[in-house]
Structure formats: structure tokens, C-alpha cells
Homo-oligomer: A and B are copies of this chain.
Amino acid sequence: MDIGSTAQEKAGLFAGVKALPGELKAKITSFAKSFTKLGQDDPRRVTHSFKVGFALSLVSLLYYARPLYDGFGVAGMWAVLTVVVVFEFTVGGTLSKCLNRGFATFLAGGLGLGADYFASLFGKKGEPIVLGILVFLLAAAATFTRFFPRMKARYDYGVMIFILTFSMVAVSGYRVDELVVLAHQRLSTIILGGATCMLISIFICPVWAGEELHKAVASNLEKLAIYLEGFGGVYFLSCRDEGSGVDSKDGSGKSLFQGYKSILNSKNSEESLANFARWEPGHGRFRLRHPWKQYLKIGALARQCAYHIEVINACIGSDIQASEEFKSKIEGPCSRMSAECGRALKALATSIKTMKDPSSVKSNVENTKAAMKDLTFALQAASIENADFLAIVPAATVGSVLVEIAKCVEKISEAVLELSERAHFSKTVEPTVSPEKPQQLLHRGIIRPVSDATGDVHDGNVVITVHEISTDSPENEKVDQHGVPKPDQV
């Protein structure tokens, strides 16, 4: 009977679980799903979690193993605290916190001991008063320095630990007589905890902040490229097929059209990555003094480009739509310009990713400029025919913002070129250049690739016929597809 009743109870329990309100069930399922997705999106998150668990288990050995415990005493607790507080996702973050914590503890400990000695000169009654004043003044001054933007960015954690340690040493010195022993114990356990974190974060599946920044900037350029490469097709084609430009907004290209939005607010994350990257030792393809600041410059230009795209998007979604006739007139140069911009950005992204010389992009930039000229001609041609001016303005606006984007892309290519020089990207010899004359063309001291699209080699003399070719659009398109190496193949 007993068994029967428990079986019944079990059945009841199961029924209860089954009868769980649908909402709660759905919530749990969605939570589990987002949990799994979080891990799938970036498996390094799972690795990081296990690394933290491992580091904590390791330092708790300080407590379990008797010899170590006898050496460190309760101060072993500080190792646990250090691991929890200091372990960050990126190596740079961990190193920055470890070093900040180490130096701040050392400095503040020394100062605290000094303050204790100084206060003891004032006798038993004066000591707490002097110590109180010292703590007040130092804490206030140190807190104020945290408002300096540069301090905040790099040493904020250090200053906090400085205040913490100083107050603790100064205050507890009044009670604990073996202060030096205590300080020594605490410092050595902090170093132990910090070293554990540093070693684990560097040697077990490291996530380098520098590499993250490097990848993030390249992927931002790619997102812009995807938009610009697809733009011409969606803007001009959808209007032609369905007679309304608004469709381009919620059409098939929607997901592609939204990628750039994440760039708009990328400043903070890029800056913090660059800050962390400075603390990292040389790793992989990056030397110790890699020009991380240059990435911020490229990132700022990419944001500028994204602002322009945001405005173009607003204009496309506007109620006033351009006349189809005028649109078809500027379609050629506009599509070509945006496609060339896209190609140039893709090539630049690939150049950053592979750390190879980006000079092959020069031809894309030249093509963009040529398309800009074509647009000028198209506009001049339109002015002769004189359609309804009002219907022309929206498309003209899109064209003229595209021109601004093209200028932005040119600036980005210059910034990437500067990066490639300062970071010593590997130079590639273009396969289209005859091997015995690899450096025929020099442009601003940079090797400029000679491809079929930009010139022909006749007996060592290079004839550049960029603009003539460019105005002849169909041929130029063909040459681009075959002559200029696509960025994906670089």
C-alpha cells in the first residue's frame, strides 16, 4: 500500500508539472533557448565561464592544502576575491585589472604603513584623529582623480583599489600590530590570485582584446560594404518592378539593410577594446606596440559612413518619391558608385583581416571617382531635358549623399593604408604585373598595383587611361569583373 501511495503521489506530481501554467512553461523554454543561443553565438562565452570556475577551484586549494594554509592563513581569502573581481573576458581586461590591482595595492600598502607610522607620532589619543583626517583627505583626492577622463578609461580600477587598500591598512594598523606580516600575506595572495588569472586567461583559449578590435573594425567595414553593394539593386530595381520605392524598406533585403545599424553606436565598445589592447603583450600577428589608435580612427570614419546610410534610408522611406524617368538616368552611375564603394570596403576589410597591403583598393577608389564624374554628367544631361523638378529632388538627394559616402570611403581607404604602413602589413605582389618589373607605378610612395583596368604596360611605360575608360561604363564593368581581383580572392 505504501508503494502504491508513493506511486500515486508521483503521478500527482507529474500531473502537476504537466498542469504548469502554459506561460511559465513558455518562459522556461524561451529562457533555455536564449541560454543555448548565447552559447552558440559565441562559444568562447562557455569557455570563459569554465575558465573562471577553474581559476576559482585552483585558488581554493590555498584553503584545502594544509601547508599552503599554514603559510597564508585567512589571507588566502584574498586570492579568491582577486580571482572573482579581476577575471575578465579578454586577456587585456584581465591584465589591466591585475596590474592595476597589484600596483595600487603595493603603493597604497606602503603609503598606509607610512601614514600609520606618522600617526603614531601623535600619541595614543592623537593617532585615530590624524589617521581619520589622512583617510578623509586621501580618499577625497583619489576619488576626484577618477573624474579625469583618461584616468577613468585606464586606471579607474587601480584608483579604487588604492583607496580601498590605503583605508584598510591605515585603519586596521591601529589595531593589528603585525601589520607588515599582514600586508605581506595579503600582497602575496593577491599576486597569487592575479597570476593564476593571468596565466589561465593567456594560455587557455585566450580572447585577445586587440584581435577583437581588429575583427570588429573589419566586420564593420564589411557590413557597410554589404549595404552599399546591395543598395543599387534594391533602390532602383524594386521601384521599377513595383512602382514604389518604399518596398525597398521592408523587402527581401531588410536583414542586409539593418546590419550597418550596429555601427552607429560602436564607439564605446571600440574604445574599451583599444584600451584593453594596450595592456596586452604581442600575440599572433600583433606586435607589442601595434597601432591600436588607428583602428579607432577607422572606426570613427565607418560611423560617419553609417550616419550617411541612415539618412539615405530615411530618404528612401520618404513619401515623396522620385520620378522613374530621372531615376533611370542616374541609375547607372549611382549603382556603379555604390557598388564600387562596397567593393572597396570589402577589399579594405579583407586587407585588415589578412593583414595584407590594401593598395589594390586604389583601383576601386579610382572607379568610384569615375562613377562620381559620370553622375555629374548624368545630372548635366538631365538639366537640359528639364523634367518635373520636384520629382527629381529625392533621387538627386540620394545621389548626392552617395557622393559623400564615396568621399568617406576614400578617407577610410587612406586610414587603412596608414594602418597598413604603421602595422607593417605584408606587401603582396599583384599577379597581373609582369614579374621582372614589379614596381612600375609609385603613388605617394605606396606600391600601386597595375591591373588591366587602370593601365596597359608597353615596353616599360605605363599609360593610364582611367577616366576615358570609366565613362564607358559597360566595358568598365566587364574589366572590373575580370581584370581587378575581387577582394574575396585577395
Contacts and interface: CB of A to CB of B under 8 A. Distances in A.
Interface of A: 34-35, 38-39, 45-46, 48-50, 52-54, 56-57, 60, 63-64, 69, 74, 77, 80-81, 84-85, 128, 131-132, 135-141, 143-144, 147-148, 160, 163-164, 167-168, 171-172, 174-176, 264-265, 267-268, 303-304, 307-308, 310-311, 314-315, 318, 376, 379-380, 382-383, 386-390, 392-394, 396-397, 399-401, 403-404, 407
Number of copies: 2
Nearest to A66: B175
A168 B401 contact: no
B38 A148 contact: yes
Contacts of A318: 403-404, 407
B160 A84 contact: yes
A489 B183 CA distance: 63
Contacts of A396: 393, 396-397
A401 B401 CA distance: 10
Majority SS of interface residues in chain A? helix
Contact of A307 (B74, B164, B172, B311): B311
A311 B390 contact: no
Contact of A168 (B81, B382, B399): B81
Given A38-B147, A141-B49, A171 B314 contact: no
Nearest to A304: B310
Nearest to A161: B84
A392 B383 CA distance: 10
Given A63-B174, A147-B38, A311-B404, A80 B167 contact: yes
Contacts of A387: 383
Contacts of A176: 74
Contacts of A390: 376, 379-380, 383
Given A389-B383, A401-B311, A172 B139 contact: no
Given A45-B147, A80-B171, A64 B128 contact: yes
Nearest to A386: B386
A46 B146 CA distance: 11
19 contacts: A45-B147, A52-B139, A56-B135, A57-B132, A57-B136, A57-B139, A64-B128, A81-B164, A81-B168, A84-B160, A85-B160, A265-B265, A304-B314, A307-B307, A308-B311, A311-B404, A383-B390, A393-B399, A393-B400
